Structures are given as C-alpha cells and as structure tokens.
Amino acid sequence: MIDSDIAALYGVTTKRLNQQVNRNINRFPKHFMFELTEDEKTEVVANCNHLKNLKFSSFLPKVFTEHGIMMLANVLRSEQATTMSIKIIEIFIEMREVLNNHKDLLLKLQEIQEKVSSHDDQIMLIFEYIKQFEVVKQQQLEQSERKKIGYKKE
C-alpha cells in the first residue's frame, strides 16, 4: 500500500508517517517498505484516480508490504493505527485465501487444457491417417480403371 493511503487510514498526515519511518528506518527492511521510482510513480498516478495529487509531489512515495503496515502501527503508537493495522492484515489474509482458492481452479483449468491439447494432437493424427487412406484408395481406384495391356481372352 502507498504511504498516503496508509496515512489516511491511520489518521495521520503522510508527512508525519514518513517522519516516523525515517526515525525508525532500521525497522523497515527492503521487504517491509520500498520507494517507487519516477517511472513507477508515473504509472501509479496514471492507473489510480485517487492518487492524482501525487503527480505534483516532488517526493517519491513509499510503498509498504503487509509486514511494513504492521510495523507502522508499532511505530505510530496510536489506537487508530493499531485498529486499522489489524483490519488491513485481516484483509491481506482474506486476499491470500482467495488467491489460493483461485490457484486450485487455475491448476484444474491448466490440467483440462493439457488434456484437450493432447486430444487435439490425437485428432490431428487421426485426420492425417484418413488423408493417407484416401490417397491409397484413390491410387487403387486409378489402377483398377486403367486399361489392361497384353493379350485378352475372348
């Protein structure tokens, strides 16, 4: 989640949130928080309507992972931050469960696709055999319609 969204949920300003992060930077390793690049910032602003004001900011926004959001609640030490952090973590857990459920469906679809693909190959092989059979039959038909040469019995 982006810093301005988390600040709004925690009831603090983005400036205060970032100050607390900078004061406790050792609590936020790279897998808890990272800063967007200028290109990423531009893309986020283009894709998220509620972040239009970020376009004019001279600062690069910070982005927090699930663990970073939990650590923020500890750093900010407010009741609202703790409550919101628990709700956000619960949402992350639900999202993970939904993704896992869809993962099972995705695996089943992939399995079905592989079966259908192998059936397609088998059907193409059958068509190839039919074509070869037709060619052989056509050659036999042409041979039988030929005028026989040599002596004929009367």
Q: Evaluate if pTM is beyond 0.85.
A: no
Domain segments of the chain: what residues?
A: 3-104
User: Which tokens belong to 51?
Assistant: 């972040």
In this predicted model, what pLDDT tens digit does every residue of 18-74 receive, in sequence order?
Answer: 999 999 999 999 999 999 999 999 898 888 888 888 888 888 999 998 889 888 888
**Residue 35: which region, alpha, beta or left (left: phi > 0; alpha: psi -120 to 50)?**
beta
Do 32 and 65 contact (CB within 8 A), yes or no?
Answer: yes
Give the per-residue pLDDT at 22: 93
In this predicted model, what pLDDT tens digit does every residue of 63-113 receive, in sequence order?
Answer: 998 889 888 888 888 888 888 888 888 888 898 888 888 888 888 888 888
Do 58 and 78 contact (CB within 8 A), yes or no?
Answer: no
Give the per-residue pLDDT at 142: 83
The percent of residues above 70 in pLDDT, for the chain, comes to 99
Q: How far is CA 99 from the centre of its chain?
A: 10
Could you tell me the CA-to-CA distances from 11 to 4, 37, 86, 148 in Å, in that order?
A: 10, 26, 15, 102
Q: At which residue do the structure tokens 């970032």 appear?
A: 18
**pLDDT over 80 (residue 138):** yes
Do 63 and 36 contact (CB within 8 A), yes or no?
Answer: yes
